[in-house]
Amino acid sequence: MKKTLKLKIFASFMLLIAMLAIAGAISILEFRWLSNSVHGLIEDNYKSIEASKKMAEALEREDSGILLLMLGEWEEGRDIIESADRSFQAAFKVAKNNLTEDEEEKYIKDIEEAYRIYKSSWQRPIVDTDKQGDIAWYKDDIHKKFADTKSAVNELMSLNQSSMYNEVSELKEKSKRAIMPGIVSIIAALVFSIILNFFITKYFVNPISELAHAVNSYRDGDKSLRVDISSNDEIKKLENAINDLLHRGLKNFNTTKK
């Protein structure tokens, strides 16, 4: 089967395009996977962190409400506590339904139990009881339960923050791996271009230059060009056509001379 110049050049560039297309497809798949990982990171860990922050803020407001109750401000204190309790329960529900890390369920149960104990303390009447104005009771009982609950919430937040940090570090490494196919394809394309240039020079440019030199060096009396092209393509056809032309010209010249 004869390989034409057109086919050879076309096959060379198609191979280069195929290499770049494969590398591009791999990079696209890697970046799509990376994008999905980032999306999951935001949707999971960040949601739990925000829920933990809201629970901690709600606990702070409840603590303020309890202090108001101890000062005898019943109506304002209860309003603050009830509003904060609703906020805490809503945030806790989000965290409870967003379990993404190992042992996260244990942290949720710790928060639930600590908050149950803490809430049982301020659910009972404070105003107009011996607890009103009792700083020692607040310090030794209420504040300790408040601190235990907040500590449990902070542990959940710390768990998700650590997980987010680890995942971000891992994503950085994966992003480097996603870039690698592109870098490899660029290097491969450069190497292939150099090799392609070598073969084009050897099999296309040099034979044409040799053929042109043979034409310029042709002397009367020669039966053919002093060139030997080993390829079986258009350049070889051109050599044969020139030699055929020279042969006919020489034949006609000899006929006319006779």
- DSSP assignments along 108-135, one per residue: HHHHHHHHHHHHHHHHS--TTSTTTT-H
| Sign, CA torsion 11/13/14/16 | positive
DSSP secondary structure code for residue 157 in this structure: H
Q: Which CATH number fits domain 16-190: 3.40.50, 2.60.40, 1.20.120, 1.10.287?
A: 1.20.120
So where are the chain's domains?
16-190, 217-258
pLDDT per residue, tens digit, the chain (258 aa), is 445 666 767 777 787 777 777 777 777 776 777 666 666 666 778 889 999 999 999 999 999 999 998 888 888 988 999 999 999 999 999 999 988 887 889 999 999 999 999 998 887 777 777 788 888 888 888 999 999 999 999 999 999 888 877 777 777 776 666 677 667 777 777 787 788 778 777 777 777 887 777 777 767 666 666 676 677 777 777 777 777 777 776 555 555 555
How many whole angstroms separate alpha carbon 77 and alpha carbon 70?
9
Burial 84-104 (b: 16+ CB within 10 A, else e): bbebbeebbeebbebeebeeb
The residue assigned the tokens 């150099």 is 194
Amino acid identity, position 234: E
Tens-place pLDDT, residues 38-97: 666 667 788 899 999 999 999 999 999 999 988 888 889 889 999 999 999 999 999 999
Contacts (Cβ under 8 Å, ≥6 apart) of 119 = 85
pLDDT of residue 97: 92
What pLDDT, on a 0 to 100 scale, did the predictor assign at position 1?
Answer: 41
Return d(Cα 34, Cα 25) in angstroms, integer.
14
Separation CA 113–CA 152 (nearest Å): 10
- The pTM of this model reads 0.58
C-alpha 237/C-alpha 208 separation (Å) is 12
Please give the pLDDT value at position 82: 92
Q: Which of 165, 159, 168 is nearest to 51 (CA)?
A: 159
